[in-house]
Structures are given as C-alpha cells and as structure tokens.
Amino acid sequence: MEPELVNLQQNIGVHIKKLRLEAGFSSYEVFADKNKLSRIQYFKMEKGTNFTLKSLDRILNVHDITIVNFFHLLEKDPKRAIDTSCSDRMNELLKRFKLSKIEFSKSLGLSNSNQINSILNGKSNIKAKLANKINKVYPDVSFRWVLKGES
C-alpha cells in the first residue's frame, strides 16, 4: 500500500480514537459493546487498519458526524488548543439554570454527562453540535455565546 494511504488510515484511526475518548469512553471494548460493534474490527479501525468507508460511516454515525465533516476535521490541526473559556461558559450555564451536570446533560438529550465533564475539566472545547442543542433547549442562550463567548 502507498505510504500516503497508510498515513491517512493511521490518521483516521487516531481521530476515531479521539472521538471515542471525547464521548467519555476510556475503553474501546466498552464503546464497541455499547454500540453493537465488533471489538476486533473497532480495535483495528482505531489502529488504522482493516476498514472500509462503510464501516467508517457506521462509527461516525454513532458520533453523529458525516464522513464529509469528519474529513474536514482531519484537515485541521490535530493538536487544536483547548479554549479554557469553554469551561467558564459551561459553569455559568449550570449555575444559571441551577442544574447538576447530569441534569443538564439529560435536558439536552445526552445519555451521560461525559461530554459536559470533559468541557468542565478543560479536556475539550464546546462543539457546534452541543452549542446548537443548548440553544434549542434554552432559546434565550445564544448559540454564538455558547460556542465562542460572543454576544
């Protein structure tokens, strides 16, 4: 296989693993089981081997990401800086609505509070998808403010 393709597959695997970790799953086995995926196939995908566009699409659907958007993410810097103000805005929302992390997560239709915890702990930024959910559930909260702190 061409070296460029090998690098691309490995980069895809790194980003698949990153998505799993951002979703709050420290174990690929638990992620695979919860999403009814073959553990072995998923493990190989994270290692950047043995996958098709169809299997990649299935994994991305779990994360609610299209293939096109996923490849756009690959073009960006993989070591994107964490915006510490995301944690501040998330804390402000929790205080404003007087909700725990779990209550807030449930109000947004999230299955657990892992994504909120990751933001509060400074491990990830608020993504557009989450900002959109917050704006839909709490329309008086600006999408732009949630995402970037802009009024």
| pLDDT, one tens digit for every residue, the chain (151 residues) | 677 778 788 889 989 999 999 888 899 999 999 999 999 999 999 998 878 899 999 999 998 899 988 888 877 655 556 777 899 999 999 999 999 999 999 999 999 999 999 899 888 889 888 999 999 999 999 999 998 888 7
| Residue 67 and residue 121 in one domain | no
Q: Distance between CA 112 and CA 46 in Å, rounded?
A: 23
Pick the closest to residue 141 from 113, 99, 112 (CA basis).
99
Q: For residue 74, what are the contacts with CB-CB under 8 A and spacing of at least 6?
A: 11, 12, 15
| Residue 103 and residue 40 in one domain | no
Q: Distance between CA 19 and CA 22 in Å, rounded?
A: 5
In the DSSP assignment, the letter for residue 37 is -
Q: Is the residue at 80 inside a domain?
A: no
Q: Distance between CA 107 and CA 38 in Å, rounded?
A: 31
Helices 3-22 and 53-62 cross at an angle (nearest 10°) of 20
| Residue 62 and residue 102 in one domain | no
The domain tally of the chain equals 2
Residue 89's CATH number:
1.10.260.40
The residue written with tokens 């790194």 in the block is 14
Q: How many residues in the chain?
A: 151
